[in-house]
Amino acid sequence: MNTLDVIIQVVTALIVTMGFGFLFNIRGSKLMVASVGGALCWGLFLLLGIWIQSEALRYFLVSLCSTVYAEMFARVLKTPATTFSIITLIPLVPGGALYYTTTFALSGTIEPFITKMIYTMELAVALSLGIVIVTAVFRSLPRRTQQ
């Protein structure tokens, strides 16, 4: 993968995340934090690719980091972590894998279909596992006094 591709991907990840920010009615500085988060997530995913082969493992690690990012900014900007935690992972949603799964199912090639389907599920589980673990940790931390 050459440098230009990397730059294009990171920039488009930023645009895509911002686009979803508009669809989900995120406003002001929260929109900025979310978009930058999306670009950072994809950048991290590509960076980890240098050392780690397994995409599922990378998805899991990125999802861990993204949720920590979300929880931290949620505290800073006094907003629920949901604002950032899901949207920053939008570039990682396995839409491509889902598409190829369907294509293989249609063309009746069973073996690639099953391989691709399991792969798609692996990615989805890796993503949500990361979110769930970090959320659980942050929820068990003692709350700052609410008032």
Partner 1 sequence: MENPETYKVLSCILEILKMMIESGAEIYRVEESAIRMFKARGAKKVDVYATTSNIIVSIETSDGVIKTHTRRIGSITTDIERIHKLNALARDISSGQLTLYQIKQRIHTIQVAPTYSRFVTILFYGVIAGAFYLFFNGRNWVEFLCSFGIGLVTGVLSKAADHIRINKFWIKFICSFIACMIAFSLRRFGVIESIDYIIIANIMTLIPGIGLTNSLRDLFVGDSISGILRLIEAMMLALAIACGYIITSFVFGGVM
Binding residues for partner 1, rule: CB under 8 A, are 5, 8-9, 12-13, 15-16, 19-27, 30, 78-80, 82-83, 86-87, 89-91, 93, 95-96, 98-99, 102-103, 106-107, 124, 127-128, 131-132, 135-136, 139, 146-147
Residue 115 vs 128, nearer CB to partner 1: 128
- Shortest Cβ 127–partner 1 spacing (Å): 7
Q: Residue 37: name the closest of 66, 71, 75 by CA.
A: 66
- The single-letter code of the amino acid at 67 is T
- Shortest Cβ 142–partner 1 spacing (Å): 15
User: Quick one: tokens of 26?
Assistant: 């995120």
- Shortest Cβ 100–partner 1 spacing (Å): 8
Give CA 45 to chain center in angstroms. Answer: 9
Residue 21 vs 37, nearer CB to partner 1: 21
Residue 104 CA: distances (Å) to CA of 50, 67, 125: 29, 33, 21
The Cα–Cα gap between 19 and 117 comes to: 28
User: Quick one: tokens of 129?
Assistant: 């596992």
- Shortest Cβ 138–partner 1 spacing (Å): 12
- Give the contacts of 102 (CB within 8 A, at least 6 positions apart): none
